[in-house]
């Protein structure tokens, strides 16, 4: 498994997978070294470890572990195909039988989902049913997800430009918002309603015909690896 991103804003995804056997529109960034047979029909699931002080984790979509390499804090797996219907999924401390959190969800055909492991002492799984739609010509889409337990409500903004999303509290998320593509942006996550910057994503290369997620992770009082940071993922691109 390769990093879903570096928190300094450079794309951390090396591989590409186009799931041609599916009728999903678009091609998917594929972050995993693992091989997956593509079921029909199928849903697509992305998994991210955003729980501070948790350490690396394994993700199990019962009965199978999905990752080969441990999923480090701030990293994850891009969309992978899985069978539809009611599914049980688990996060474990990597390489152990220590269950961190288990949950279930009925996955629907040709739907995209993102699962975020969140929380500090008590772990939760934030489950998003992603609305994936191709941007207009020359445009890209960016959304905000707030997985910081104590940062409060936040806004997503382009430095020197527009505010893209506002007032998203813990476990809150925005829709994908249209921006001009094929540009490099400095993206800021701010305390809501202010110009106070909590985390910055520098030199974010935003390509046309793509959609992206920027998330806020970490703890406001921390100065170590658990400090507030931006996460960055290219979810889907079209060509």
Q: Does residue 158 belong to any structural domain of this protein?
A: yes
pLDDT at 106: 98
Q: 106-109: which pairs have CB atoms within 8 A and are 24 or more residues apart?
A: 107/43, 107/45, 107/82, 107/83, 108/43, 108/84, 109/41, 109/42, 109/43, 109/84
- What sign has the CA pseudo-torsion 86, 92, 96, 98? negative
pLDDT at 172: 99
Q: Does residue 6 belong to any structural domain of this protein?
A: no
Q: Which is it for strands 64-65 and 57-61: parallel, antiparallel or unpaired?
A: antiparallel
Q: Does residue 124 belong to any structural domain of this protein?
A: yes
Q: Does residue 3 belong to any structural domain of this protein?
A: no
pLDDT at 15: 27
Q: Does residue 88 belong to any structural domain of this protein?
A: yes
* β-strand partners of 81: 44
Count of the separate structural domains present in the chain? 1
Domain assignment of residue 111, given as a range: 16-237
Tens of pLDDT along the chain (239 residues)?
333 543 323 222 222 333 323 334 455 555 554 434 456 899 999 999 999 999 999 999 999 999 999 999 999 999 999 999 999 999 999 999 999 999 999 999 999 999 999 999 999 999 999 999 999 999 999 999 999 999 999 999 999 999 999 999 999 999 999 999 999 999 999 999 999 999 999 999 999 999 999 999 999 999 999 999 999 999 999 98
Residues, the chain: 239
As a whole number of angstroms, the distance between CA 82 and CA 63 comes to 12
Q: Does residue 4 belong to any structural domain of this protein?
A: no
Instruction: Give the global pTM.
Output: 0.87
Q: Does residue 9 belong to any structural domain of this protein?
A: no
User: Are 120 and 52 in contact, with CB atoms under 8 Å apart?
Assistant: yes
User: Could you tell me which of 206, 238, 15 has the C-alpha nearest to residue 132?
Assistant: 238
User: The tokens 């879903």 sit on which residue?
Assistant: 4
Dihedral Cα 194, 212, 116, 125, nearest 10 deg: 80
Q: Does residue 7 belong to any structural domain of this protein?
A: no
């Amino acid at each position: 498994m390769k990093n879903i991103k570096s928190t300094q804003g450079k794309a951390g995804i090396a591989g590409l997978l186009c799931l041609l056997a599916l009728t999903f529109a678009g091609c998917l960034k594929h972050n995993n070294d693992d091989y997956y047979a593509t079921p029909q029909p199928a849903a697509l699931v992305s998994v991210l470890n955003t729980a501070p002080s948790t350490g690396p984790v394994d993700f199990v979509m019962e009965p199978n572990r999905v990752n080969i390499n441990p999923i480090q804090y701030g990293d994850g797996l891009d969309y992978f195909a899985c069978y539809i219907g009611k599914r049980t999924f688990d996060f474990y401390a990597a390489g152990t039988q220590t269950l961190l959190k288990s949950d279930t969800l009925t996955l629907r055909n040709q739907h995209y989902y993102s699962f975020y492991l969140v929380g500090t002492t008590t772990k939760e799984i934030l489950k998003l049913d992603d609305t994936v739609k191709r941007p207009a010509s020359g445009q890209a889409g960016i959304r905000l997800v707030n997985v910081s337990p104590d940062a409060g409500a936040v806004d997503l903004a382009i430095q020197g430009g527009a505010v893209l999303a506002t007032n998203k509290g813990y476990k809150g998320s925005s829709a994908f918002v249209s921006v001009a593509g094929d540009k490099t942006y400095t993206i800021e996550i701010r305390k809501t309603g202010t110009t106070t910057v909590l985390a910055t994503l520098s030199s974010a290369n935003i390509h046309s015909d793509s959609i992206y997620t920027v998330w806020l992770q970490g703890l406001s009082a921390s100065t170590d690896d658990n400090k507030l940071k931006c996460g960055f993922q290219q979810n889907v691109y079209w060509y």
